[in-house]
C-alpha cells in the first residue's frame, strides 16, 4: 500500500505561545482508516487544520498523496473532504439544497451532481427529509448531512474532526456504519479524531494516541492493548478518601503489581497476573481493615493504554475533574 499522509516532526505553535502540536511524526496508508485518539486540548483539531491547509505549521514536513503542503496546498485541497468539529449546514436551505450548493462550489456538472446528491441522501438516511429546511433537523441529522456534504466531490481522503461528539448512541452508531461503508466501498482513506476510545477501537485499523501535543502510543488497537501486556484491576474502596493512601502503600508491596493509578472509581492496579493477584489484594486490604465496595477485573482497554501512558483517564466525562496522579510511575 502506498502512503497517503506523511508527517515528519510537525510542530504548531500558536501566536500566544501555546505549543498545540509538539513534534509529531506518523503516516497513513492509502485506503486506511486512521484515528487520532485523545482528550480535549490534546492537539487533534490543530493537526487537522494544518493538514487541511487551514493553519500554517510552525515547522516539520507534511506530504499528502505525494504533494508537499508547502508548495502544493491547492492540489491537496482538491483531493480532500473536511468535516470540522462544528457543523456547517445552512439552516435556511433544505438538506438537498445544502448538498447541491456544495457541488456547485466544487463545479460539478449538474447532471452528475443530482445523481451524487441522491446517492448521498440515501447513504446517510436523509431521503425522507431531503426537502425539509435543515434548521428543523436534529443534531444527529445535521451531523449526517454535514458528513454527506464533505463527500459530494468524492474525495480520496476524508478528514473528520470528532464526527460523533455530543451525539446520542443511536446517531453515533449510524455514523459509524456510514464511515465503514465509505472506507470499504469507496476506498476512501479516513483520518478521524475522537475522544471516545470505543469509537477508535471499533473503527480504526491504526491509531495514534495524542496527549498535550505529543503522540504517546501508536499501532492497531489490538497491538496497543497487547503492548500494555497487563490486565487491570479496578478497586473501589468503601471510604476511598480515608483509606486510599494506606491502600496504595500495601498494594505497592505486592509482587506482580506493575503500576497503580487513581481513577474515577478509586484505584486501578495494573498487573501481569491479575487473576492470581486478586486474592492477595483482598487479603492485604482486609488485614488492614480496609473495606472494599468492589473489585473489577478486566483485560486492557484503550482507556487503560492511555491511563498507563499518561496517568489520566481519557473518558470525556472525566475531563472536568482534576487530573489524577500516577503513583508508581515509570516504564517497565
Ligand atoms: P483538541 O482538538 O484535541 O481538543 P486543539 O487542537 O483544539 O485540541 O487545541 C490544542 C491546544 O491548543 C489547546 O491547549 C488549545 O487551548 C490550544 N489552542 C487551540 N486553538 C488555539 C488558538 N486559536 N490560539 C491559541 N491556542 C489555541
Ligand atoms: Mg478539537
CATH number, domain with residue 73:
3.40.50.300
Q: What is the CATH number of the domain that holds 310?
A: 3.30.70.920
* Ligand 2 centroid distance, CA of 193 (Å): 8
- Spacing of C-alpha 12 from chain mean position: 19
Q: Answer yes or no: do 317 and 173 share one domain.
A: no
Residues 83 and 180 in one domain: yes
List the residue whose alpha carbon is closest to atom 17 of ligand 1. Answer: 20
Asked if the structure places residue 137 within a domain, the reply is yes
Work out the mean pLDDT of the chain and round it to a whole number. 88
Q: Which of 200, 219, 238 is the last residue of a domain?
A: 219
Q: Are residues 151 and 294 in the same domain?
A: no
pLDDT of residue 1: 65
- Is 80 exceeded by the pLDDT of residue 332? no
Q: What number is the average pLDDT over the span 271-281?
A: 82
- Domain span at residue 20 reads 3-219
Is the domain of 43 the same as that of 191?
A: yes
315, part of any domain: yes
Q: Minimum mean pLDDT among 119-128, 264-273, 291-300, 313-322: which range?
A: 313-322
The pLDDT-based confidence of 331 (bands split at 50, 70, 90) is: very low
pLDDT band at 321 (very low <50, low <70, confident <90, very high): very low
Contact indicator for 172, 12 with CB cutoff of 8 Å: no
Task: Please report which ligand is nearest the Cα atom of 41.
Answer: 1
Is residue 165, in this structure, part of any structural domain at all? yes
Q: Domain total for the chain?
A: 2
Residue ending a domain, choose from 198, 219, 240: 219
In a domain, 31, yes or no: yes
Q: Do the domain assignments include residue 270?
A: yes
The more confidently predicted of residues 171 and 127 is 127
My answer on whether 80 and 181 are in the same domain is yes
Asked whether residue 137 falls in the same domain as residue 109, the answer is yes
pLDDT tens-place string over residues 217-239: 999 998 888 777 777 888 999 99
* Distance (Å, whole) CA 17 – CA 285: 47
In a domain, residue 282? The reply is: yes
If asked whether residues 46 and 136 sit together in one domain, one would say yes
Residues 31 and 110 in one domain: yes
Could you tell me the sign of the dihedral formed by the alpha carbons of 156, 159, 162, 163, in that order?
negative
Among candidate residues 185, 219, 253, the one where a domain is terminated: 219
What is the distance in A from the centroid of ligand 1 to the CA of 252?
37
Residues 263 and 293 in one domain: yes
Do residues 114 and 193 share a domain?
yes
Confidence of residue 130 (pLDDT cuts 50, 70, 90): very high
Ligand 1 binding residues, C-beta < 6 A: 14, 16, 18, 20, 38, 40-46
Best of 13, 35, 46 to mutate for ligand 1, by most ligand atoms within 8 A of CB?
A: 46
**What pLDDT digit, counting tens, does each position of 60-77 carry?**
999 999 999 999 999 999
Q: Are residues 56 and 180 in the same domain?
A: yes
Whether 332 is covered by a domain: the verdict is: no
Classify each residue of 288-299 as buried b or exposed e, where b means 16 or more C-beta atoms within 10 Å of its C-beta: eebebeeeeeee
Cα–Cα distance list, 276 to 13, 254, 257, 262, 281 (Å): 48, 12, 11, 22, 9
> How far apart, in Å, are the Cα atoms of 217 and each of 31, 167, 224?
22, 27, 7
Q: Do the domain assignments include residue 238?
A: yes
Question: Is 149 found in the same domain as 49?
Answer: yes
Q: Which residue in this structure is represented by grid cell 448512541?
A: 169
Distance 145 CA to ligand 1 centre (A): 26
Contact, 173 vs 188, CB < 8 A?
A: no
For residue range 163-203, list pLDDT tens digits in order. 998 888 888 998 999 999 999 998 999 999 999 988 999 99
Amino acid at each position: 500500500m502506498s502512503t497517503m499522509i506523511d508527517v515528519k516532526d510537525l510542530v504548531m505553535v500558536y501566536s500566544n505561545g501555546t505549543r498545540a502540536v509538539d513534534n509529531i511524526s506518523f503516516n497513513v496508508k492509502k485506503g486506511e482508516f486512521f484515528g487520532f485518539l485523545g482528550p480535549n486540548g490534546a492537539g487533534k483539531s490543530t493537526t487537522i487544520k494544518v493538514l487541511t491547509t487551514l493553519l500554517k505549521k510552525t515547522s516539520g514536513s507534511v506530504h499528502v498523496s505525494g504533494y508537499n503542503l508547502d508548495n502544493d496546498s491547492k492540489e491537496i485541497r482538491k483531493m480532500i473532504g473536511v468535516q470540522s468539529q462544528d457543523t456547517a449546514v445552512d439552516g435556511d436551505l433544505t438538506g438537498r439544497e445544502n448538498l447541491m450548493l456544495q457541488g456547485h462550489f466544487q463545479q460539478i456538472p449538474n447532471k452528475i451532481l443530482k445523481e451524487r446528491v441522491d446517492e448521498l441522501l440515501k447513504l446517510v438516511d436523509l431521503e425522507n427529509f431531503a426537502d425539509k429546511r435543515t434548521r428543523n433537523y436534529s443534531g444527529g441529522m445535521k451531523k449526517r448531512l454535514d458528513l454527506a456534504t464533505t463527500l459530494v466531490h468524492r474525495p480520496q481522503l476524508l478528514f473528520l474532526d470528532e464526527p460523533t461528539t455530543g451525539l446520542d448512541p443511536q446517531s453515533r452508531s449510524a455514523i459509524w456504519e456510514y464511515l465503514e461503508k465509505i472506507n470499504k466501498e469507496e476506498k476512501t482513506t479516513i483520518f478521524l479524531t475522537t475522544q471516545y476510545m470505543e469509537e477508535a477501537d471499533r473503527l480504526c485499523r491504526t491509531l495514534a494516541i495524542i496527549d498535550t501535543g505529543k503522540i504517546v502510543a501508536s499501532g492497531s488497537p489490538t497491538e496497543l492493548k497487547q503492548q500494555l501486556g497487563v490486565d487491570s484491576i479496578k478497586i473501589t474502596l468503601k471510604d476511598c478518601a480515608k483509606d486510599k493512601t494506606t491502600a496504595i502503600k500495601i498494594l505497592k508491596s505486592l509482587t506482580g503489581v506493575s503500576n497503580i493509578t487513581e481513577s474515577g472509581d478509586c484505584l486501578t492496579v495494573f498487573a501481569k497476573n491479575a487473576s492470581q493477584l486478586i486474592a492477595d489484594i483482598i487479603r492485604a486490604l482486609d488485614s488492614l481493615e480496609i473495606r472494599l465496595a468492589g473489585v473489577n477485573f478486566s483485560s486492557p482497554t484503550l482507556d487503560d493504554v492511555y491511563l498507563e501512558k499518561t496517568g489520566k483517564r481519557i473518558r470525556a466525562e472525566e475531563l472536568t475533574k482534576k487530573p489524577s496522579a500516577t503513583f508508581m510511575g515509570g516504564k517497565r
